[in-house]
Structure 1
Amino acid sequence: MASNTLSFQALVRLLRYAKGYRRRILAATTCSIINRLFDIAPEILIGVAIDVVVNREDSFIALLGFTMPQEQILMLAVLTFLIWAGESLFEYFYEILWCNLAQRLQADLRQDTYEHVQRLDISFFESQSSGRLVAIMNDDVNQLERFLNGGANSLIQTGVTVVAVGIVFFVLSPLIALLAFTPIPLIIWGAFFFQRKASPLYSNVREKVGDLSSRLSNNLSGIATIKSFTAEVREAERLKAASEAYVEANHQAIRISSAFIPVIRMAILVGFLATFTVGGMLALEDSLNVGAYGVLVFLTQRLLWPLTGLAEVIDLYERAMASTRRILDLLEVPVMVKDKSGQPLSQPVRGRVSFEGVSFHYESSGMGVDGVSLHVPAGNTLALVGATGSGKSTLIKLLLRFYDPQQGQVCIDGQPIREVSLCSLRQAIGLVSQEVYLFEGSIRDNITYGRPGACETDIAEAARMAEAWDFIQTLPEGLDTLVGERGVRLSGGQRQRLSLARALLTDPPILVLDEATSAVDNETEAAIQRSLQRIGYGRTVIIIAHRLSTIVHADEIIVIDQGRVAEQGTHTELLEAEGRYATQWRVQTGMAKAVDVPLPC
């Protein structure tokens, strides 16, 4: 019963989501109903034709004014043509309407889900695999589309058949109607029994699809690592295990659906034999019109045989509802970092940044920052150094509002960033991350990602400032060179420089460099250092660095230790203080003393 309730709840949630499609759903449903009524009519006409042949002038049709049997046959021929034409016409209509509805709904549902996922907090993505999300937005949405393409129409037409044929049966012979309908409760019970058994199985199937997609996505992204450790066989075995788990989950569901069909067929046989035998006896006794007997025999098949497809329809339904639950659950994940879209940052943005008593801790690890207060005057360069996990990147995530602090606030030009739109906030900040991500496409596409349509001169200038222009010019296709998926055709240093050029092209008043020189060689690092003065001119720069040589000219250097400010000052002041910074400087420059303890990196 719980599984039936879950499926029904999923259907209600889907209908609530699809309220904007009600007219389309109503039109498609109406065409399905009319088509099925036309589909039932030929069996009735066959019975009437038998009545004409047997009773001639005393037939049912004669009561309508057509006394000659030839006239009656011709009239039946005309009716048959009109009914078949109407059935074909409305079949065309419902096919078009249901397919278009399925296509439109799946496209909108995928788009809405993707747009919602884009608004979700970074913490959500840190706890989810990309493969699972792709499976929901692709496989699950497609599963729902398959049900709407055929399953929904079949369910509606099966219901219409039972009601319409039932009315005809009870009009012609209540006794035979009772006998013919006797198997239906068993069929319905079997359908619900199957649904109850199948629902958790199909939920498991959808989870296994997500696991399989995640495994494929991770392995393809990490193919270089797999090859370097000669782990191809091991990874193939792991993928095989995930694939076999998916196959086994499907097998369990298939076993249930396969057992349902033979039971239904035997129930149908009982109903058909009852109509055939009892109806025949009544016709022989002249208690039942021969034409009516023919109608009942033909309609019994029309009533019961379509129910054999009920298992397949419910199979589609259960798969679709399992997918629907996953899709709508994803759509209902709350956005914790709310966008104050009505109030932008005051223009022009000068770039004065302040962290005022900021505290934040991650739920999973408890790490973060405690009571950090920092003030960066507009146009100054601030460097953050410290051990891995000390809280440097956390401060950047708070500045970009990937998270909101649990205490304190972050301000830009005196405005608390909680009170301004995310769009205006993030457009004011250019981020060059340690983990460079390039999109599949050309170098030009990637540099202009934050400023589509930028002119060639601006692109070249940004590339020069990032020390990327020289290597771009050596490529055969220059800016139009394709970088491959995630930039695999370029070296790490080249990707890093393109990432820097991408940020510089937007000319942000605040530039954040998170280990921006981590993947470049010494020569490129020296070149970027030389250009930092130009890069920093007229804008605020915040640098996270492990290589202390890149930050010696920063206006202020902050040493973060276990989420707190441990030291701060200029490069010269920190060396004179003989603290952690000075110790690490000596380690990196080869002047460490025996008693020095390096700052962890």
Structure 2
Amino acid sequence: MAGQAFEQFFKEKDAVRNFLFYIKDLYAYAKLKILLNLVLMVLLGLLEGIGILMLIPFLSIAGILSSTTAAGGADFWLKQFFSDLGTTISLPVVLLIYTGIIFVQSWLRRYQSNLNTRIQQGFYSFLSIRMFQALAYTKWSSLMARKKSDVTHLLTGELARVSGGTQYVLQMTATAVISTIQIGIAFLLSPGLTFLVLLGGMAFFCWMQRYVKEAKKTGASISQHTRNLFFDVTEHLNGIKEVKTCGMETRQIENFIKLRQAIENNFVRFNRIQSGTDMLYRVGAAVFISIFLYSGIEIFQIQAEELLLMVVIFARLWPRLSSLQVGLQQVAMMLPAFQAVLDFESQCLRDQEKYLEGPAYAPIELRSGIELKHVFFRYQQESSSYALRDISFSLPAGTTTALVGVSGSGKSTVADLITGLITPQQGEILIDGTPIANSALHLWRRGIGYVPQDAFLFHASIRDNMGWAHPGASEEEIWKALKMAAIDEFAAHLPERLNTVVGDRGVRLSGGERQRMVLARALLRKPSVLILDEATSSLDGENEKRIYQAIESLHGRLTILVIAHRLSTIRKADQIIVLDQGRIVEKGNYANLMENKESRLRALAAI
């Protein structure tokens, strides 16, 4: 019957697989701690059993049970045990032993509780770190296909549920071990009656497993709704300015309330399942105790002290059976969360990039140039539409190349190809005449400075933001990079200078200041290649001028790729490449292209 119960609990193959993976991961992380925990469980079970047996001599001394009634039973065994030790049963001895047992038992429980917390929280950290590492080393193309809110939800909400489930797994294990020991004591006292009670108890336990299935469904529903809630909140915060500008607060609030109520209903439903099972176990306990007492007195006619011990044992066992049921429901609710974590990890590992790390692997420094040869790229493999078609051009080292074109022409896609974030379906990209191996992509990127359109700054000081790109940078190196980006005077006049906190995503800085700060951070890396991906598209003319004055000062020292839609910013580029619908339509310098009346660049300038 017990096998059928657990078979129903793990009815689906995925549930079996996920639970086995869970146990495997937990054991791999905390093998020694778990073994120690099992030893503690056995000791606690034995101590609790001894404590129960000590009731007999205590009741005999108190006169509740006569010595003749107790003879030949549990009391006889205890008297024989004390006789072998060379002492007799007396009230001080019994009370002293009882106090000692409680002291040791309490100390072991405290130690076990701390050990369980270390296992639970350590396993939480273990899974979180492993998942974050898998995320960090995943290909960019795979990350683009995922919602940021889903990843955040997995790293916080779902892993927290797995951690909660770990607590219940440890509790269930302790319950099972201690209960087994107490059942063993009950079998020694009355095998027939114990077997009868266990048979009825297991039948009742199996019947209750239908609630576990409901708990698993509720857990899956909670995962879905909390994921949607994370997405809704993330989208609201990302578009908060537009929401407030357009007066859309009410609609956002309505969406939030709808999702929050769905989650609330699921938790209420789960609590209804738990409270229902608790009620049934309490009623069942009363029925079984009544049957137990009647059978013990009228059918099995067991001695009074043994019957009393049996009552105590099964009175303790029944709540543990209820606790085991609650634990199964909690684990069932946790499994969908663990499955989501496993699925995400497996996808990340499947799309993993190879990395060469360590002092022996230095960043790749560009020496002769970058060359794209007949490159084709499309974002969807099944699509017949290419983002880039037959792209061929070179970026000689130490020169400045500008990519221009209307939105959607493929400019940023070219930048992603050069950085190795995506790979072409056809053609090749050569660095100093050699294709970059997948394992060396990380070393290539470490030699690149990248300035995106959306400036990315931490809610931290200028020093910390700069140090993110180059952790070992000295203060002199930081000021040098700030000067190269024409932001040093601004930073020098701040009250706390480099210790000034820039706010979330640099909100305390203007758009131009943020972009120059990000440029300085990119330059602090001492890159051999600098890519500016429409870094000035949202700036006013004055700030844009400052950025490009800083870039012009780097001419000849770095290989610079500028992606721009304002032609005023690319006049001094060594070469300009015009893209249209994923194709190169013309190349040349600014003067030559503008002289041609049919030039596409000239047409763009007229827009």
- TM-score normalised by the chain length of structure 1: 0.90
Gaps of 5+ in 1: 588-601
Match of 1:579 in 2: 599
> Could you tell me which residue of structure 2 aligns to residue 402 of structure 1?
421
2:20 is aligned, of 6, 12, 16, to: 12
SS of aligned partner of 2:422: coil
Per-residue Cα deviation, 1:356-385 (whole angstroms, up to 9, x for no partner): 222221128755212211111111111111
Q: 1:338 aligns with which of 345, 349, 353?
A: 353
* 3-state DSSP of counterpart to 1:449: helix
Equivalent position of 1:322 in the other structure = 336
The answer for the alignment partner of 1:146 in structure 2 is 164
Q: What do the CA deviations read for 1:311-346 (whole angstroms, capped 9, x no partner)? A: 432233223323222222222223536225279578
**Could you tell me how far apart the structure 2 residues matched to 1:76 and 1:240 are?**
61
Match of 1:517 in 2: 536
Larger displacement relative to structure 2 (138-147 or 64-73): 64-73
- Paired with 1:476 and 1:311, the residues of 2 have a C-alpha distance of 61
Residues 358, 408 of structure 1: 8 Å contact kept:
yes
**More displaced, 507-516 or 449-458?**
449-458
Q: Mapping of 1:327-406 within 5 angstroms?
A: 327-333=341-347, 334-336=349-351, 338-341=353-356, 348-350=365-367, 352-363=369-380, 366-406=385-425
Is structure 2 residue 506 aligned with structure 1 residue 506?
no
Q: C-alpha displacement at 1:522, in angstroms?
A: 1.3
Judged with a 3 Å threshold, the aligned counterparts in structure 2 of structure 1 residues 405 and 379 are, in CA distance, closer, same or farther, namely: same
Residue 430 of structure 1 contacts residue 504 of structure 1 at CA under 8 Å; is this kept in 2? Answer: yes
- State how 1:89-128 maps to structure 2 within 5 Å: 89-128=107-146
Counterpart of 1:94 in 2: which secondary structure?
helix
Structure 1 distance, partners of 2:461, 2:370, is: 34
2:575 equivalent in structure 1: 556
Q: 1:531 to 1:71 in 2, by over 3 A?
A: closer
Contact 1:183 1:268 in 2 (8 A): no
Conserved 8 A contact 2:450-2:531: yes
SS at match of 2:517: helix
Q: CA deviation digits over 1:407-446, x for unaligned, max 9?
A: 2221211221235523321111111111211111122322
**Please, which moves more after superposition, 101-110 or 64-73?**
64-73
Query: Compared with structure 1, are the counterparts of its residues 127 and 411 closer, same or farther at alpha carbon in structure 2 (3 Å cutoff)?
Result: same
CA distance in 2, matches of 1:549, 1:484: 32
Distance 1:293 1:355, change over 3 A: same
Q: Which moved more, 1:403-412 or 1:471-480?
A: 471-480
Where 1:402 maps in the other structure, the secondary structure is coil
After TM superposition, give the deviation of residue 37 of structure 1 in Å: 2.8
8 Å Cα contact 1:431/1:503 also seen in 2: yes
Among 195, 199, 212, which residue is 1:182 paired with? 199
Distance 1:34 1:5 in 2: 36
Equivalent-residue separation in structure 1 for 2:445 and 2:577 (angstroms): 23
Q: 2:309 aligns with which of 295, 307, 311?
A: 295
CA drift of 1:533 comes to: 2.7
> How much does 1:391 deviate?
1.2
Are 1:132 and 2:153 matched, yes or no? no
Cα deviation per residue 1:203-244 (whole Å; 9 max; x = unaligned)?
Answer: 221222222222223323332222222222221111111211
Alpha-carbon distance change, 346 to 520 in structure 1, aligned in 2, over 3 angstroms: closer
Kindly provide the amino acid, as one letter, of the partner of residue 164 in structure 2.
R
Distance 1:233 1:367 in 2: 41
Match of 1:528 in 2: 547
Structure 1 residue 354: Cα displacement? 1.0
Question: What RMSD in Å do the two structures reach over aligned CA positions?
Answer: 2.6
Q: CA deviation at 1:347?
A: 5.8
Partner SS for 2:501 = coil
Does the aligned pair in 2 maintain the 1:271–1:300 contact within 8 Å? Answer: no
Amino acid across the alignment from 1:203: A
Equivalent residues in 2 for 1:237-256, closer than 5 Å = 237-256=254-273
Q: Deviations over 1:437-483 (max 9, x none)?
A: 11111223223321124333332332233232333344333332211
Give the counterpart of 1:444 among 463, 473, 477: 463
Query: Structure 1: how far apart are the matches of 2:289 and 2:174?
Result: 20
> Cα gap change, 1:17/1:152 in structure 2, threshold over 3 Å: closer, same or farther?
closer
Q: Compute the displacement of 1:586 (Å).
A: 2.9
Q: Report the 3-state secondary structure (helix = DSSP H, G, I; strand = E; otherwise coil) of the residue aligned with 2:561.
A: strand
Distance 1:452 1:166 in 2: 61
* Alpha-carbon distance in 2 for matches of 1:346, 1:267: 70
Contact 2:532/2:563 (8 A) holds in 1: yes
Q: Pairwise mapping of residues 251-266 of structure 1 onto structure 2 (< 5 A)?
A: 251-266=268-283
Partner amino acid, structure 2, of 1:378: A
What is the CA distance between 1:282 and its match in structure 2? 5.3
Gapped runs of 5+ residues in structure 2?
1-7
User: Are the equivalent residues in 1 in contact too, given 2:356–2:439 (CA < 8 A)?
Assistant: yes
Cα distance in 2 for residues equivalent to 1:66 and 1:548 = 103
Q: How many residues align?
A: 583
**Residues 107 and 317 (structure 1), Cα distance of their counterparts in 2 relative to 1, 3 Å cut:** same
Partner of 1:228: 245
Aligned twin of 1:275: 292
Partners of 2:456 and 2:350 in 1: how far apart? 24
TM-score (norm 2): 0.89
Contact 2:82–2:89 (8 Å) recurs in 1: no
> Quick one: which amino acid aligns to residue 131 of structure 1?
S
1:54 to 39, 47, 66: 66
Which string of whole-angstrom CA distances, capped at 9 and with x for unpartnered residues, describes residues 188-213 of structure 1? 21443222221121022122222222
Match of 1:23 in 2: 32
CA contact (8 A) 2:388 2:581 kept: yes
Residue in 2 aligned with 1:211?
Answer: 228
What is the rounded CA distance, in whole Å, between the counterparts of 2:355 and 2:128 in structure 1? 25
CA displacement at 1:65 relative to structure 2: 6.4
Mapped partners of 1:351, 1:443: distance in 2: 34
Residue 43 of structure 1: how far off its partner (Å): 2.3
How many Å apart are 1:44 and its aligned residue? Answer: 2.5
Query: CA offsets per residue over residues 131-184 of structure 1, 9 Å max, x none?
Result: 2222211222222223334x2332123222442233233332233223322332
Indicate conservation of the 8 Å contact 1:169/1:296, yes or no: yes
